[in-house]
Structure 1
Amino acid sequence: MKKKLFVFLVLFLVTMSYAQTTRYIYETSVNPDSINLVSLKNEKTFLDIKGNHSLFISENKLIKDSLFSTFKLDEKQDIKKGEKDFSKLGIKKHLEPTFFEYYITKDIPGQKVYYYDRVVGKQIYYQEDRPLKWEITDVTEKQNGYLSQKAVANFGGRIWTAWFTKDIAISDGPYKLSGLPGLIVKLEDDKGDYKFDLIKKIIVKNAFEEPISSDAKLSTRVNFNGDKAALELEFVKNKRLGGNGEGMQGFNGGGGRHGAGMGGMRGGNHLGGGEGMSHRGGMEGNNPSMSSANTENTSFKSSMNQNPIELK
């Protein structure tokens, strides 16, 4: 009897562990304009670790995407009705946009990185093809409460300084930056445009998982922008021919097909116990029919695009 109870407890703990996601919350500072000196803008980004996979996503995008996943608003439905549905949750009608209108998944042991974006309702992604080459120094300091070691890498046209801690044995970090013998707790570029500071660790049950569309288009890093432009042109062409865009019916597929996704991480639509989860998040971007006409958001997005995180 005791043996059976022991086995049951072990299986229960394993199941509970698998069902949970460890979320590392970073206070992220961004300079939206690389030409003019402006104040840094702040938002939170999340690094969700579950098993051997991770998801990097901004707080704003996670909230927006989880809302769309929950309500699955029909494009033919009256938009005003959709706004009323959102208002029942006490969420603002016009939500702030994000500097990160994409998300990144990683296969941590395999050091495989996948970048996901969306254009005219269709998901498009590529696998990062540039391995990170870190120069690990002997410099150690306490950063954000952790004894950390300094490492430097040249990636995407920026020189990144990372502080990682071996106290958290996870070879990962914000954005695409990973591959060190410990979690990155602080990350900043040489131009002072991007900075990530780990501020909190929480456990999230049934964390929202970004769904991978069954018709997601596989691209390459080199061809990515060209493929996005081609999808936009195809959308405009079908819109003109079909009037209502019938030719694009497959552009909002659901399901999931890519092994770099977060496995069973979706589970539900719990956003994480309210930790660092203010109700913000740009309604435009993932659904053309829900694009906001808010001029402040448009201005924010325009300035945001002036200073991309990767310069080349």
Structure 2
Amino acid sequence: MQKLGMVLLCFFLTIYVKSQKAVNLDVVNSQYIYLLTSQRDSLDVENRGEEYFVLQIGKEKSQFMSLNSYKRDSITAALIANKSSVSNLNLGNIPKTDFAFRIIKDRGRNKIDFYDKIIRADFSYEETPAFKWMITDEKKKIGDLKCQAAQLDYAGRHYKAWFTNDIPVSDGPYKFYGLPGLIVEMEDSKNHYKFELLSYKNLADEKPLWISEGKLNGKKVSKADFYRALKNSQDNIIQEISKSGFSLNPNAESLVREKLKKRNNPIELIP
């Protein structure tokens, strides 16, 4: 299993490194770390994964992404700057992530740009979600923050969020924003996805809010077309790997298919 993981990691990194030139979109003023607890397999209640995410808020835009994905970007950007190759990498030092997407929010224009890679190709789609929040009278303290509850239906899930006016930033984890303060905690009604704010800080020295050139210039499609392409790639993953010059034995192929089969519970339930 470990050898298979290294083969797949090398396969994806070979594609990934080619498109990592940085493009600056804004400057980061503040940064927020969230923990996502998720149940990726709807049939396996006991198996829950955890991953850390970072929300970077700039003057006009914000970016939400996996912390490991952000670290991976930084490593590969440095790799390009030093004109090294994937073969020189110590794969054991490459952070692993189950969530490689980037979400750029332009709250002033009520616009979200979603970036992700499907096998060898970068894709993006634009969304104007117009979240219809229902703010309730329910209140509680989370740590030192005074919070208030709000509810939302989005992408096949019903969510309860806790936001705080103590941090007057209309933003939050994943695509979510539009409340009078920062979202501190958010969970869907089936307890499959839960975001919790762990830490936050204002930055004394501004740093770039950047995204890779490959992601920025990827193929722009509709949201529906993106999810159709994603499903098609998952249904034909073995063929896609073979096209790139990597070969898997029958046992490894079975393990890959079994792993994908257990990822049947995405955060967005697209019909």
User: TM-score range, shorter-chain basis?
Assistant: 0.7 to 0.9
Structure 1 pair 218–79 and aligned structure 2 pair: CA distance change class (3 A): closer
Distance change (3 Å), C-alpha of 1:32 and 1:95? farther
The whole-number CA distance in structure 1 between the counterparts of 2:256 and 2:94 is: 12
Tell me which amino acid in the other structure corresponds to 2:263: N
1:22: how far off? 0.9
Alignment of structure 1 residues 8-27 onto 2, 5 Å: 19-27=27-35
Tell me the matched-pair count. Answer: 232
CA distance in 2, matches of 1:169, 1:61: 27
Given that residues 28 and 57 in structure 2 are in contact (C-alpha distance below 8 angstroms), is that contact kept between their aligned partners in structure 1? no
Distance 2:37 2:48 in 1: 6
TM-score normalised by length of structure 1 = 0.64
Checking the alignment, whether the CA contact within 8 Å between 2:27 and 2:59 is kept in structure 1 is: no
Whole-angstrom distance in 2 between the partners of 1:160 and 1:181: 17
Matched, 1:33 2:41: yes
- CA drift of 1:303 comes to 6.5
Q: Quick check: 1:310 aligned with 2:268?
A: yes
CA offset at residue 301 of structure 1? 6.0
2: distance between equivalents of 1:173 and 1:55? Answer: 10
Post-superposition shift, 1:135? 0.7
Cα deviations across residues 141-187 of structure 1 (Å, max 9, x unaligned)?
A: 11242111100001111111111111211111100111111110111
Residues 94-118 of structure 1 deviation map (CA, whole Å, 9 limit, x = unaligned) = 6453231211010022221111101
Provide the rounded CA distance (Å) in 1 between the counterparts of 2:154 and 2:229.
Answer: 23
Match of 1:198 in 2: 197
* 1:142 paired residue number: 141
Question: Quick one: structure 1 residues 301 and 110, their matched pair in 2 at CA, closer, same or farther if it must change by over 3 Å?
Answer: farther
> What whole-Å deviation, never above 9, does each CA across 1:185-234 have from its counterpart, x for those lacking one?
1111111111111111134542562224363211111111334578999x
Distance 1:157 1:195 in 2: 15
* RMSD of equivalent CA atoms: 3.5
Sequence identity (%): 29
Match of 2:79 in 1: 71
Aligned to 1:183: 182
8 Å Cα contact 1:114-1:128 kept in structure 2 = yes
Task: Tell me the SS of whatever aligns to 2:162.
Answer: strand
Structure 1 equivalent of residue 68 of structure 2: 60
What amino acid maps onto 1:133 in structure 2? K
Find the counterpart in structure 2 of residue 118 from structure 1.
Answer: 117
What CA distance in whole angstroms lies between the structure 2 residues aligned with 1:306 and 1:144?
34
Higher share in strand:
2
Residue of structure 2 equivalent to 1:162: 161
SS of 2:212's equivalent in the other structure is coil
What is the distance in 2 between the residues matched to 1:300 and 1:210? 32
Matches within 5 A, 1:230-249: none
SS at match of 1:196: strand
Q: Which residue of 2 aligns with 1:219?
A: 221
- Partner-residue secondary structure (3-state), 1:209: strand
Deviation of 1:298 (Å):
5.7
When residues 102 and 135 of structure 1 are mapped into structure 2, their CA distance, relative to the original with a 3 A threshold, is same
Against the structure 1 CA distance between its residues 197 and 230, is the aligned structure 2 distance closer, same or farther, given a 3 Å change threshold? Answer: closer
| Contact 2:28-2:209 within 8 A present in 1 as well | no
CA contact (8 A) 2:69 2:95 kept: no
Stretch of structure 1 that moved more, 34-43 or 65-74: 65-74
Q: TM-score, normalised by structure 2?
A: 0.73
Aligned amino acid, residue 43 of structure 1: E
Per-residue deviation at 1:43?
Answer: 1.5
1:53-111: per-residue Cα shift (whole Å, max 9, x none)?
Answer: 10000111111112112212999x7643x22xxx4xxxx62645323121101002222
One-letter code of the match for 2:269?
L
CA gap of 1:308–1:20, structure 2 versus 1, over 3 A, is closer
Aligned to 1:45, which of 44, 53, 65? 53
